[in-house]
């Protein structure tokens, strides 16, 4: 397999080194961080249009329910 040499600043090297897992090469690290062969644009636009609006509404409803539940529990615990 062919290899390439990259020149990076020492501070960047230190950051990458701290992210590297035991037994992982720098090539493995860079592949993991870059998503390997995955298409990084693949998920963009999935929740567009009407489906996106419905999803956003569902998330907002769930958030409101969780907020209400939290307030009720806090009131029960702290007596407010």
Question: Residue 46: pLDDT above 90?
Answer: no
Average pLDDT estimate for 29-58: 79
What pTM was estimated for this model as a whole? 0.44
Mean pLDDT score across all residues of the chain: 87
Question: Residue 61: pLDDT above 90?
Answer: yes
Q: Which of 36, 38, 35, 31 is nearest to 16 (CA)?
A: 31
* Distance of alpha carbon 45 from alpha carbon 57, whole angstroms: 17
Q: What is the pLDDT of residues 5-18, one digit of tens each?
A: 999 999 999 999 99
Q: Give ∠ CA 28-31-36 in degrees, rounded to 5.
A: 135
- Domain borders along the chain are 1-34, 47-80
Question: Residue 68: pLDDT above 90?
Answer: yes
């Amino acid at each position: 397999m062919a290899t390439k040499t990259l020149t990076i600043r020492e501070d960047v090297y230190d950051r990458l080194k701290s992210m590297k897992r035991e037994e992982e090469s720098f090539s493995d690290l860079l592949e993991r961080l870059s998503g390997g062969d995955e298409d990084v644009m693949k998920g963009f636009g999935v929740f567009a249009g009407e489906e996106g609006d419905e999803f956003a509404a569902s998330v907002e409803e769930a958030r409101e329910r969780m907020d209400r539940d939290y307030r009720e529990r806090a009131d029960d615990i702290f007596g407010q």
